[in-house]
Amino acid sequence: MNASVDKILAGKYPAKDHAKRVAARVRELGHGEAGIFYLEGQKTQMIEDNDGPMPFRQRRNFFYLSGCPLPDSYLTYNIEKDHLTLFIPPIDEDSVIWSGLPLSPDEAMELYDVDAVLSTPDVNASLAHYCSTKGGKKVFAISNQVSPHITFLPFQEIDFDVLKRVAEECRVVKDSYEIALVRRANEISTKAHLAVFEAAKSATNERELEATFIATCMSYGSREQSYHPIFASGVNAATLHYQKNDEDLLDKVTGERKLNILVDAGGEYRNYCADITRVAPLSGKFSAESRQIYDIVLEMQMTCLAMIKAGVMWEDVHSNSHRVAIRGLLNLGILRGTEPELFDKGISVAFFPHGLGHYLGMDTHDTGGNPNYEDTDPKFKYLRLRGVLACGSIVTVEPGIYFCRFIIDPYLASPDLAKYIDASVLGRYWSVGGVRIEDNVVVTQNGYDNLTTTPKNPEEIEKLAAGS
């Protein structure tokens, strides 16, 4: 593990800096020089018709401003006085015998970057006290995230819009602590991907590989997955978000091992995500067709990575990935026509239907992307990130080429579009399923810093898959 990451993460999560940053943006937008932020952490929720709790996931905006992973907690921030107060649940004697003692206020002060820690029963009195002070007339909260017993009655103005919008805007640009968290999530996830390469040599079912990945992540401190992982063998890789992860690695028709396994998986570390995709040959060596597609996708990614720096339009990078895909598929004979014509007609969408990438942070599809799912151009409809890349943001770069009959068949059935695809050549590639290569990069002023060290050179992938 990276020692410099350990050094950064030895300190507290910089919640106070985040609160100041959000407050400064609120002022900049003209919403006042004073006021108080009020946020609630996620509540403990019980499984329906059961006495056990549902899996807990902290609200991301609450964590951004508190650094606190505890359920049933509250937070206030006095903008004018720059004072951050965390409210944590008190001791419940009935629960102690089952769950042990909860964190005390003194212990919380040692752990979290806040100015004060009180108990949750104190929150209404604290809000009332703030209202009694000069300038204490406005509260910023998040709609549908305020408990019924919380009273804002003394406040002259209640804003349920600005806080969420501004916090999610601020979350786009990461500080060094956040980048270290994502880097650590990538380090752990890389170890898990390598373990999957090793396990794939003898595994017989996709679920074995999923189990290997999750177990490896947990052994290195990543207790949660960033999203439901994808372990797609053979033609299952043509489904972008394949979920079953339970098919045999032997082809039912031929009785031989399927060509490839696509693994899209990332561990979560202290609420920050990794999102990595790799493809490996199950036999230890790519088939000719698989290698051809892999090389095109790798060229798509490397060409796009070379474009990344602060101020670049993401749409331009995404468009370039389509042009590289078109050139590659033309060279293989799968597509027919000229590159400009194929680009304008959107033919590459049949093979590359999703966006090139998205912001990454506490959420896998992190805030601030401003997608436009109503875009009439199919190349951009599912692009989750639009606009200029900000310095300090983290983006995924994940081009892919897929052979999905559900998507491609309508093109083949269209009199206007079928002429651009050579069905006889295409027939050799259905069994490839799909290839996607995904890295997580920090946008810098003059380029990028790739946080993902998982091998992707095809020769290295083959050596790992073959165990040599």
pLDDT in tens, 53-71: 999 999 999 999 999 999 9
- pLDDT of 198 over the 80 cut: yes
Q: Do the bridges between strand 157-159 and strand 224-225 make them parallel or antiparallel, or are there none, so unpaired? A: unpaired
Query: Could you tell me which residues are beta bridge partners of residue 276?
Result: 265
Query: Is 253 a residue whose pLDDT tops 90?
Result: no
The ranges of the chain annotated as CATH 3.40.350.10 are 5-171
Provide the residue type at 465 as one letter.
A
Query: What share of the chain in percent tops pLDDT 70?
Result: 100
**pLDDT on residue 164:** 98
CB 233 within 8 A of CB 261: yes
pLDDT in tens, 157-171: 999 999 999 999 999
311: left (phi > 0), else alpha (psi -120 to 50), else beta? left
- pLDDT exceeds cutoff 90 at 409: yes
- Mean pLDDT score across all residues of the chain: 96
Q: What is the mean pLDDT of residues 240-249?
A: 97
pLDDT band of 136, cuts 50, 70, 90: confident
Q: For residue 135, is pLDDT > 80?
A: no
468, pLDDT greater than 70: no
Residue 200: the pLDDT is: 96
The yes/no answer on whether domain 176-466 falls in CATH 3.90.230.10 is yes
Query: pLDDT at residue 254 above 90?
Result: no
pLDDT digits (tens, 9 = 90+) for 137-154: 999 999 999 999 998 988
Residue-level pLDDT at 294? 99
d(CA 467, CA 3): 29
Identify the band that residue 215 occupies on the pLDDT scale cut at 50, 70 and 90: very high
Model-level pTM? 0.96
Q: What pLDDT is stored for residue 93 in this prediction?
A: 86
Region 245-253 average pLDDT: 94
User: In the chain, which residues fall in CATH 3.90.230.10?
Assistant: 176-466
Mean pLDDT value of segment 406-412: 97
Residue 173 has pLDDT above 70, yes or no: yes
Q: What average pLDDT does the segment 212-227 reach?
A: 98
Say whether pLDDT at 283 is over 90.
yes
CATH class of 5-171: alpha beta
